[in-house]
């Protein structure tokens, strides 16, 4: 994992690619909610994402949607949870997922992906919002994804270039680009008339 280096006065500041708060909460959640009779917790780090998978599904009374809001906690291991609470590692019940989401948002990262998978629960953090997996999650079509990746590499795109790389009409290109600007807020439109081009917002 890479640390970004910056300076404040004479002090060297090292910032991880992923928020410390998010990583901390993911590990604490794994500790407290793990099924200790099952598989071990698994952490995988890739070039553009990181995930933690933990054995044990969500309680039947909690949905994925409820996790992103204020909710009660149902620790699979209440003794460990109580020890973590008294030791100062967790400060309130049922707030871990919201801290993960909030810290990623503050760091300018995409909303983490959370899902039940293969008998366990998986949380995925993305390094930036311009990776294909995340772009698919926010319902961009294949043409728009290709355009975003093009702009990420080249810095900009015009309507004509959009037509060429996707083999579509000007009208389709205009509609797709308008969605990327107005609905998804991924592009900003610059220039005027025939010199119009699009960059990452």
Q: Which of 55, 101, 62 is nearest to 77 (CA)?
A: 55
Helix, strand, or coil (residue 190): strand
What pLDDT does 110 receive?
A: 86
Torsion-angle region of 170 (φ positive above 0: left; ψ -120 to 50: alpha; else: beta): alpha
User: Would the pLDDT of 5 be above 80?
Assistant: no
Task: Please give the average per-residue pLDDT across 157-170, as a whole number.
Answer: 95
Residues of the chain with CATH 1.10.10.10: 132-200
Rounded Cα distance, 199 and 181, in Å: 10
What pLDDT does 102 receive?
A: 92
What pLDDT does 190 receive?
A: 93
Q: Which of 125, 22, 28 is nearest to 75 (CA)?
A: 28
CATH of 3-126, picked from 3.30.1330.10, 3.60.40.10, 3.30.565.60, 3.40.50.970, is 3.30.565.60
40-98: pLDDT as tens digits: 999 999 888 999 999 998 888 888 888 888 777 888 899 999 999 899 888 767 788 88
Matching residue, tokens 């995340």: 134
For residue 62 the two structure tokens come to: 């909690």
Helix residue ranges, H only, 3-69? 20-33, 64-67
DSSP class of residue 172 equals H
What pLDDT does 64 receive?
A: 85
DSSP class of residue 48 equals S
Q: Please, what is the average pLDDT of the chain? A: 89
Q: Can you say how many angstroms the Cα of residue 72 is from the centroid of all Cα atoms in its chain?
A: 24
Backbone angles phi, psi at 21, to 5 degrees: -60, -45
Residues of the chain with CATH 3.30.565.60: 3-126
What pLDDT does 92 receive?
A: 67
Query: CB of 80 within 8 A of CB of 35?
Result: no
Torsion of CA 82, 84, 86, 87, to 10 degrees: 160
Mode of pairing for the β-strands spanning 49-55 and 42-45: antiparallel
- Note the CATH architecture for domain 132-200: Orthogonal Bundle (1.10)
Burial class (CB within 10 angstroms; exposed 0-12, middle 13-18, buried 19+) of 91: exposed
């Amino acid at each position: 994992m890479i640390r970004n280096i910056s300076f404040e006065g004479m002090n060297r500041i090292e910032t991880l690619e992923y928020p410390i708060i998010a990583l901390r909460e993911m590990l604490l959640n794994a500790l407290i909610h793990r099924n200790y009779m099952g598989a071990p917790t698994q952490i995988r780090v890739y070039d553009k994402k990181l995930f933690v998978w933990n054995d044990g599904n969500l309680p039947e009374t909690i949905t994925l949607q409820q996790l992103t809001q204020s909710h009660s906690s149902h620790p699979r291991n209440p003794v460990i949870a109580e020890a973590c609470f008294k030791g100062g590692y967790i400060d309130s019940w049922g707030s871990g997922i919201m801290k993960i989401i909030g810290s990623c948002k503050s760091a300018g990262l995409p909303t983490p992906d959370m899902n039940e998978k293969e008998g366990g629960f998986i949380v995925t953090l993305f390094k930036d919002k311009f990776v294909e997996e995340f772009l698919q999650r926010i319902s961009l079509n294949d043409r728009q994804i290709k355009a975003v990746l093009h702009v990420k590499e080249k810095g900009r795109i015009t309507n004509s270039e959009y037509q060429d790389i996707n083999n579509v009409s000007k009208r389709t290109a205009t509609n797709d680009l308008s969605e990327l600007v107005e609905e998804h807020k991924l592009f900003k439109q610059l220039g005027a008339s025939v010199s119009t081009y699009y960059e990452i917002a």
